[in-house]
Chains A and B, each alone.
Chain A
């Protein structure tokens, strides 16, 4: 669908739910594949323009694929998070049939930066960086504390299921992966068992999905992979080396220490962090990202997205192999 027709539909939509709105300007597509799109636009309003984001599956792409929570669930989760004081964009409108825009929702646009290299290196973020790990701990405590009774229907995941899924994907590659096998073996041998505490898990809490400003984290984005499971999974995922972007001695996103993340979490939740579980999920996350890299390369081979970028991502899976060896078979103590 062209920018002009999306803008026209958005203009009609905002008039229906945003009192005083007279139209939209600057509608532009930001990212996404065929089944899911993100658009940025400004709502024209007598009190001043309102920055907004549309996340939608266009008409005909209703069902959420595989692991995705679905856009309706994302909207509910984002609103719950916002109401609970977790930095989050306010949900302005959930799309309905009259909008003719498919399924999805419109949220407030939060200003800030998501590009890791800028966040980790630019002067603008120098005063925020030392606070980020602790802040991430606090935010995760907030997410995990959202009341189960209010949550939408979500898939339930545990470590054993996740290992079995990864095993199946590795089998489908048809290409020998001794380091991945070592990691699978380690995960089987070190599975801490079902977590006594089951909570909402964001599922993709890392650089790229955190809107960060000079004052710190301003919004948690992209709840697409939200599910129910071991809350320690989120703490492990943000420590995966792939999200440190060169800052390898600062395990939390390349900006902080484990202790800071854990302290922020414990202070906000009153619940002690299980460091062994966090390490387990860090290993799982490292392997999962490696498997995802190979999977994207395979879609380059068989799928319509025959792009260089996808092909080259296959050559990043070896990054996760060295990370796995550093975790599981370190050469120096």
Chain B
């Protein structure tokens, strides 16, 4: 077991430093690149904070939906294959809700300001 602070705390501290202390001093192309860097660190912080809970919920839904146990990666491959082959579709119980919940959890990490996400998460 590694010591504290946790990775999310460290990454957030770095992002806050860059945003509050460095960004005001940088302009032009470097300023643009710095904003991209800060966005990336913010994304990592969100993933470190949010994904253990959303991954667990996704795994539970997949287990119910597919009726088998497996890893998150393996079950997602099974789901993708099931949709491709036509064995699973939007009429399959729980499928639509699963895709929505999974996608919303991805957007909450990736792009929480995306307008379509904000509309659906209301």
Give chain A's interface residues, CB within 8 Å of chain B: 176-179, 181-182, 184-185, 241, 244, 246-248, 308-309, 311-312, 315-316, 318-319, 321-323, 325-326, 328-329, 331
Contacts and interface: CB of A to CB of B under 8 A. Distances in A.
Contacts of A176: 73, 76-77, 79-80
Nearest to B98: A178
A158 B79 CA distance: 28
Contacts of B110: 315-316, 318-319
B113 to A, nearest CB: 9
B5 to A, nearest CB: 24
Interface string B67-86: 00000010011011001101
A10 B115 CA distance: 44
A318 B102 CA distance: 10
Contact of B86 (A179, A185, A322): A185
B33 A308 contact: yes
Given A319-B114, A322-B114, A331 B120 contact: yes
B90 A329 contact: yes
Given A248-B119, A308-B40, A315-B111, A179 B84 contact: no
Nearest to B90: A329
B80 A325 contact: no
Given A176-B76, A322-B114, A322-B117, A329 B86 contact: no
Contact of A322 (B36, B43, B96, B103): B103
8 contacts: A176-B76, A178-B76, A178-B83, A248-B116, A308-B40, A318-B103, A318-B111, A329-B96
A329 B100 contact: yes
A325 B103 contact: yes
Contacts of A316: 110-111
Contacts of A184: 84
B39 A241 contact: no
Given A315-B43, A325-B103, 17 more contacts: A176-B79, A176-B80, A178-B79, A181-B80, A181-B83, A182-B83, A185-B89, A247-B115, A248-B115, A308-B33, A309-B36, A312-B39, A319-B111, A322-B114, A322-B116, A329-B96, A331-B100
Contact of A325 (B79, B84, B100, B111): B100
Contact of A241 (B77, B80, B109, B116): B116
A331 B116 CA distance: 13
A214 B2 CA distance: 59
Contacts of B89: 185
B13 interface: no
A320 B89 CA distance: 19
